[in-house]
Amino acid sequence: MQRFLAGLIATTLLASAPIHAQQVPAPLKDCRALLKSARGDIERTPQTEIEDLEDGCRFTQIGFALDTHVTADIDEMIIRSPDLLAVWPTGDVFEAADLTLNGFSVLPGYKTNLRLVYDTDPEALTANIERLHFDAGPLGAFTVSARFSQFDNTDLGSPLLENQGGIIHSLDISLHDSGLGALLLLSLQPITGLPSEDDVIAMSTIIRAWPERRLSTVSAESLVRFLTAIPDLIGDWTFSFESQTGLAIKDLAAANFAQFAGRLPKDSIISATAAKR
């Protein structure tokens, strides 16, 4: 359970290592048994309802352990995955899954909804995030989809980007922001920091110098407007990246934007739209 939900994005990119037959636990009987086995990660309440689905489970009014000291309330959790009851007790990452969290109290004072749909192919070492959608109600929402190759399916890898294997071939992001962007960026500021005015000028110069075959002038100016607006991202923004060659995930951890830009494959196609203000 921890390996599937704690690293929500990282674990979608990797399938689990094979387990020898003698080590495979018996499949769970039903969703009630699954909830019992997940005690410590998912906490039952007096209002909890359990429903067995054809390919998954549905739980209502549960508590979800974010860490050893913090539990978030969830109105509804639905998880669907092939052989869910057999895979769950092994602790393996699901090769494919559809996860819904409704009424998830992760932001103080707000109920949020999350939907994650992904699939992997352990033999081909590919993965697809069909849809990652986070809806924070009046604060806004964002959606991500992506396609990857060259994953080591026998290793979950390091949580650090610079140590993560894999190639990004497509990435699509859309943001509808009514305050969500500032909240997320400011919460990450102690870890990642925010770009300074000089940083924005330097990045904007690089983006505007990219060839037309990589991105149009309109898309370049949309990216510049995004950088200039941080952390006030009120409005609608989109970003799209495509490359047959692909960009290594570890290159996202480049020391600076100039280094990152130098690692973009030559066949990269980027498009972006900016909020109208």
Instruction: Say how far apart CA 223 and CA 216 lie, in whole Å.
Output: 11
Give the per-residue pLDDT at 8. Answer: 45
Asked whether residue 249 is assigned to any structural domain, the reply reads yes
Domain ranges, residue 218: 1-18+92-275
E strands present in the chain:
42-53, 56-65, 71-80, 96-107, 110-121, 126-135, 140-149, 167-177, 235-248, 269-273
Assigned domain for 2 exists: yes
Statement: residue 235 has pLDDT above 70: yes
Q: CA 95 to CA 4: how far, in whole Å?
A: 10
Higher pLDDT, 6 or 164: 164
Asked whether residue 5 is domain-assigned, the answer is: yes
| pTM of the complete model | 0.87
Mean pLDDT of the chain: 86
- Burial level of 228, CB count in 10 A (0-12/13-18/19+)? middle
Does residue 223 lie in a domain region? yes
The string of pLDDT tens digits covering residues 26-52 is: 999 999 999 999 988 899 999 999 999
Domain count, the chain: 1
Question: String of b and e for 65-96 (b: at least 16 CB within 10 Å)?
Answer: beeeeebeebbbbbbbbeebbebbbeebbbbb
Structural contact between residues 269 and 242, judged by C-beta atoms closer than 8 angstroms? yes
Residue 139 within a domain:
yes
- In a domain, residue 250? The reply is yes
Is residue 107 situated within a structural domain?
Answer: yes
Residue 18 has pLDDT above 70, yes or no: no
Residue 60 belongs to a domain = no
As a whole number of angstroms, the distance between CA 139 and CA 181 comes to: 8
